[in-house]
Structure 1
Amino acid sequence: MIKSPVLTAAPARALIDEQISIRGGFLPPHCPVTVWARMHSDEGDLWEAFAHYNTNASGAFSLSSDASVGGSYVGCEPMGLFWGMQPAPGGREGLRKRNVETPFVVRISLLEGHVSPGEGQTTELAAVTAERWYLTPGVKRTEIRQNGIVGTLFIPPGEHLGPFPAMLDMWGMGGGLPEYRASLFASRGYASLSLAYIGHKDLPGRPNCLTVGDSYFKAAFQLLQDHPQVVSDRVGIIGLCFGCYLTLRIAVQTGVKVGHRSSCLILYLAAGKSHLFTRLSYPGAGHLIEPPYAPNVRESMWTYKPKKLFTMWGGHPAPHAAAQEDVWKKILDFMETNLRC
């Protein structure tokens, strides 16, 4: 009995920072195939990636152990179909999750031969769907509009398992209220508050101006620290871009007690304790290093008035993807060591 070609993706439902094992089988030996992944952003734009593989003597292949010989990436890249995605022709750059309560739904197709999807007729041999989530089941999401503070609070699953260590999460001067990193922290067992401080409709003043000061950030930190499901002396801060400056400023200038990192790292360095400071360098990576297994945000709109202004963030897809994977593991390990243990 001749079996039909099969394509599997396991687990079919996973957090965005978890690897998926993609395999194909019941194919002719040493035959060319194409694996094609595509999904829609929250705004409806189509994103896609594809890669060329050759089956082994048993008529099988695995993205975890076999090398792509062409397409969106080359080499052995188990998650290349995800970080290698680009907008389809006519689509918009800058893939970022707006609604963390829904997954990215990725359709993965197995195509006959080495082909470029969208350029002529293709034959689909098999297909599978994978869900990529930012929230694990049971995470509680609460919008915060309290004492002038604008943010989103995430509490890990299990009301009777807390209190939890926590993270205050701040992004850059692009503004708004990105939630996807904070939601992942909560999915990993950390209460987290994603804090808006510029470019949000609920903040006072002009939308593209920084109108809040030290008291705002101190109040946000204390709101998180005083939450009944948070361990008050195990609260950390993470920032990206301008948020990095704010992270250090909160620890140095506002008088908050940052758990077991109760003095700023810069002060540790000044005190001659450079062994407490770790510097990571990733040649080829861009400015926006985010959670792994998502495409590199190479450009985004910075302002739209009085005219549209786009900012190029740099980075090459493969080294940027490797940097995001390595950094995320180091961040979680650092949090585990200094906040949970």
Structure 2
Amino acid sequence: MAVTVTVDPKGCSLWDEPVRILASGLAPGQRVTLRASLRDEKGALFRAHARYCADAHGRLDLARAPALGGSFTGLEPMGLFWALEPEQPLLRLVKRDVQTPFAVQLEVWDGHDPEPERLLGRTEHERHFLGPGVRREPVRAGRVRGTLFLPPGADPSPGIIDLFGSGGGLCEYRASLLAGHGFAVLALAYFRFEDLPKYLNDLHLEYFEEAVDFMLQHPEVKGPSVGLIGFSKGGDLCLSMASFLKGITATVLINGCVANTIVPLHYKDMIIPDLGSHPEKQTITESGLLDFMDTWNNPLEESNRQSVIPLEKAQGPFLFIVSLDDHSWKSELYAQIASERLQAHGKDKPQIVFYPETGHCIDPPYFPPSIASVHAVLGQAVFYGGEPRAHSRAQVDAWQQIQSFFHKHLNGKTFIKTSKI
């Protein structure tokens, strides 16, 4: 009997959707090794493997069978996805073109030897980033540069603006996946993209105000306000937007700062200086990676107070996603400072979700955790922190938290978590 490898749902799934991996036609108790691999758009190879034993009926179900070794151990139904590692060290798996899927190769090999030699069965499964009916519209409106993702259906949908960090460019994969959950999401670039500034020299909040206006004037975006989601530098930009701009409701900050960072922020006749840092305080890990956690100035010190984003007029509610092993900066401290300042000004206490053993880069579910990688602008290898298994679980939970928060505060609905595993 031939060995058959199947993935449920069959053929393809969305990247943030769990799948069920099964193998049949094995001998009872047979020792096998499962391998997963994919290539990104630049041809870089990512691989993972795990060792298993078939059950008494010659079947293997990764939702029930624990891995006995390899890239991970224990019961990890999605381990072959989140444990993918680059063949070339320090590459981060990102999706550059959301219009095409990642093709994941899954193979079953005989035995547990370090290099099993007999292939028993294989299949290919496509992981997509555009859900059924989700529309992708490039945005070149005035100065605004980005991509709008619209969910299926004719009715206007609650809007979200999505900002990434200091790597620049246009990152669409989070926005495209969020759109599949009922939101109109604008992935917004602000430097290193087309005719936008090549370098992050300074920022003008009017650009982001123009993006808010674009969303609120769009016929398929439900007003009278929009939500924001920002990671790292994008987080403090979202906090500034919620504090100074009109039309903001519900903001998610993923490991953001309570102060303006990296470059000055201009708005009308106001300038918020950057928090400042001391690069000479950066440390080097035993693996030769840069660690920036202790380089940033303390926003609590009097000399740095002007850099702290004024929260007197901040429009909540807020959700802070916080990693407790963040080695880019002290995200836990920043969230606590923001919470205290918001409440001191009569605002509601923000929701804060802490994730132990989780590093700076929190992506949607099943992306391999970026514990360390080469920074897009610096061109140097940076340590972000985190333990892969805990970080992976944090990404799954954070994704549910984000959806629940936006459904409640933008859509007035209760979010119900669903899973096929």
User: What TM-score comes out, normalization by structure 2 length?
Assistant: 0.74
Query: Could you list the runs of 5+ residues in structure 1 that have no partner in the other structure?
Result: none
CA distance in 2, matches of 1:296, 1:208: 27
1:222 equivalent in structure 2: 213
1:257 equivalent in structure 2: 247
User: What TM-score comes out, normalization by structure 1 length?
Assistant: 0.90
Q: Does residue 1:166 correspond to 2:159, yes or no? A: yes
1:313 equivalent in structure 2: 384
1:151 equivalent in structure 2: 146
CA distance in 1, matches of 2:77, 2:343: 39
Relative distance call for 1:106 and 1:115 in structure 2 (3 A) is: farther
Q: Relative contact order: is structure 1 or structure 2 higher (C-alpha 8 Å, sep ≥ 6)?
A: 1
Deviating above 4 A after TM superposition, structure 1's stretches of 4 or more consecutive aligned residues are 265-268, 271-274
Relative distance call for 1:260 and 1:280 in structure 2 (3 A) is: closer
1:135 equivalent in structure 2: 130
1:280 equivalent in structure 2: 353
Provide the alpha-carbon RMSD of the alignment. Answer: 1.9
Asked if structure 1 preserves the Cα contact closer than 8 Å seen for 2:366 and 2:392, the reply is: yes
Asked if structure 1 preserves the Cα contact closer than 8 Å seen for 2:157 and 2:184, the reply is: yes
1:185 equivalent in structure 2: 178
Relative distance call for 1:260 and 1:208 in structure 2 (3 A) is: closer
1:68 equivalent in structure 2: 67
CA distance in 2, matches of 1:330, 1:71: 31
**Percentage of matched positions with identical amino acids:** 37
Q: Aligned to 2:373, which of 262, 278, 300? A: 300
CA distance in 1, matches of 2:113, 2:210: 56
Relative distance call for 1:219 and 1:19 in structure 2 (3 A) is: same
Asked if structure 1 preserves the Cα contact closer than 8 Å seen for 2:12 and 2:128, the reply is: yes
How big is each residue's C-alpha offset from its partner over 1:196-220, in whole Å with a ceiling of 9 and x where there is no partner? Answer: 112223214xx12244311111110
1:212 equivalent in structure 2: 203
| TM-fit CA distance, 1:26 | 2.0
Query: Could you list the runs of 5+ residues in structure 2 that have no partner in the other structure?
Result: 252-313, 319-338, 413-421
> How many positions carry a matched residue from both structures?
327
How big is each residue's C-alpha offset from its partner over 1:100-136, in whole Å with a ceiling of 9 and x where there is no partner? Answer: 00000001001111134xx4x5211111111111111
Asked if structure 1 preserves the Cα contact closer than 8 Å seen for 2:134 and 2:179, the reply is: yes
How big is each residue's C-alpha offset from its partner over 1:272-310, in whole Å with a ceiling of 9 and x where there is no partner? Answer: 565x422111111110001011111233333667xx323
Q: Does residue 1:7 correspond to 2:25, yes or no? A: no
How big is each residue's C-alpha offset from its partner over 1:161-181, in whole Å with a ceiling of 9 and x where there is no partner? Answer: x20111100000111110000
| TM-fit CA distance, 1:248 | 1.0
Relative distance call for 1:299 and 1:336 in structure 2 (3 A) is: same
2:49 equivalent in structure 1: 50
Matched residue type, 2:110: E
2:343 equivalent in structure 1: 269
Asked if structure 1 preserves the Cα contact closer than 8 Å seen for 2:136 and 2:148, the reply is: yes
